[in-house]
């Protein structure tokens, strides 16, 4: 089974993760914007070739999960990191408010049916983790989930953490490589980005009143993230807490982890069998003599 790539942003597997120990911005030895962009281009080129090999070998699937507070940069990071990848080998799903159909199933159903096939990269912009983040902060949403019974909330979250871990372990055992990224933005940086959305006409469409209202629950969200990452960061489905106040550095960090992970798989193009190779000379002669 796949094991996590080591990184200083890797959330430990021993439940010792504390948000205050993980920065929202590196202040020492961080490359500048120009250097980040240059390195990212290199990573994108490597990712392009690795994705081609992943697709050709057709043994593994790669699932990238992105979770973050609003305005942390999920969309732009996905767009930047995957900009050089063949669209035929990549699929992105965004999960927002559950639909009536989704509420008629268990909480893992809507993401399970969107999992990537072997040979492809699947990206979840938000995910099944909404059920232990947003719903934990707003437990009143449980009334819409048609559960036979709602156990005490502490027990419910433990049940959901257990279900998520077992689900991800099953996927990993069957060839899905899982990387989960929490884009760790500061409250002050989020405020600045919200103001940009209000003050720059081209960004007005991104602004939502509800996003500002959710800022009032910042402490509750941080507690929910800390609990979720501690309970579900495992060697086969690791979380990485990526500093998100500096977007170029954030994108580069995500790209480096994805590239290193794919390299560890030792992907290879399929070898043609002897019987098929024996026919190559005959086919080449036919084509050259047309």
Q: Is residue 238 in a domain? A: yes
Within a domain: 1: no
β-partners of residue 124 are: 65, 93
Residue 10 belongs to some domain of the structure: no
How many CB atoms sit inside 10 A of residue 51's CB?
24
Q: Which tokens in the block code for residue 192? A: 């600045």
Within a domain: residue 5?
no
* 97 neighbors 212 (Cβ within 8 angstroms): no
- Asked whether residue 249 is assigned to any structural domain, the reply reads yes
Let me know if residue 11 belongs to a domain.
no
The sheet with strand 121-125 has its strands ordered as: 90-94, 121-125, 61-68, 176-184, 239-243
Range of the domain at 282: 19-288
CA distances from 27 to 24, 121, 202, 222, 251 (A): 10, 32, 31, 22, 17
- Using DSSP's 3-state secondary structure scheme, residue 202 falls into helix
- Largest CA-CA distance found in the chain, in angstroms, rounded: 77
pTM of the model: 0.95
Give domain status of residue 13, yes or no: no
CATH code of residue 207: 3.40.50.300
> Phi-psi bin for 29: left (phi > 0), alpha (psi -120 to 50), beta?
left
Sign, Cα dihedral of 176, 113, 233, 49: positive
Count of domains forming the chain = 1
Its sign, for the CA torsion 196, 201, 206, 208, is positive
Q: Is the CB of residue 36 less than 8 Å from the CB of residue 249?
A: yes
Is residue 4 in a domain? no
Per-residue pLDDT of the chain (290 residues; tens, 9 = 90+): 777 787 899 999 999 999 999 999 987 888 999 999 999 999 999 999 999 999 999 999 999 999 999 999 999 999 999 999 999 999 999 999 999 999 999 999 999 999 999 999 999 999 999 999 999 999 999 999 999 999 999 999 999 999 999 999 999 999 999 999 999 999 999 999 999 999 999 999 988 888 899 999 999 999 999 999 999 999 999 999 999 999 999 999 999 999 999 999 999 999 888 888 888 888 888 899 88
């Amino acid at each position: 089974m796949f094991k996590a790539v080591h990184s200083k942003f890797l959330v430990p597997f021993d439940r010792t993760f504390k948000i205050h120990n993980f920065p929202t911005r590196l202040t020492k030895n961080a490359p500048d914007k120009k250097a980040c962009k240059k390195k990212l281009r290199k990573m994108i080129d490597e990712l392009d070739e690795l994705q081609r090999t992943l697709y050709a070998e057709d043994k593994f699937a790669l699932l990238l999960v992105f979770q973050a507070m609003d305005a942390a940069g999920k969309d732009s990071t996905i767009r930047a990191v995957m900009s050089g990848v063949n669209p035929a080998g990549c699929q992105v799903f965004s999960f927002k408010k559950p639909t009536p159909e989704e509420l008629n199933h268990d909480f893992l159903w809507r993401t399970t049916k969107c999992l990537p096939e072997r040979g492809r990269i699947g990206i979840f912009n938000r995910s099944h983790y909404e059920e232990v983040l947003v719903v934990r902060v707003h437990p009143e949403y449980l009334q819409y989930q048609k559960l036979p019974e709602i156990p005490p909330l502490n027990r419910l979250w433990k049940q959901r953490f257990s279900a998520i871990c077992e689900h991800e372990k099953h996927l990993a055992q069957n060839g899905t490589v899982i990387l989960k990224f929490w884009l760790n933005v500061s409250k002050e940086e989020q405020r600045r980005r919200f103001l940009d959305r209000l003050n720059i006409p081209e960004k007005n469409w991104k602004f939502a009143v509800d996003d500002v209202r959710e800022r009032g629950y910042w402490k509750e969200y941080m507690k929910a993230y800390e609990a979720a990452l501690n309970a579900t960061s495992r060697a086969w489905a690791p979380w990485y807490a990526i500093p998100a106040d500096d977007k170029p550095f954030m994108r580069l960090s995500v790209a480096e982890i994805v590239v290193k992970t794919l390299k560890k798989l030792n992907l290879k193009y399929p070898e043609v069998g002897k019987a098929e190779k024996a026919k190559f000379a005959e086919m080449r002669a036919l084509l050259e003599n047309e």
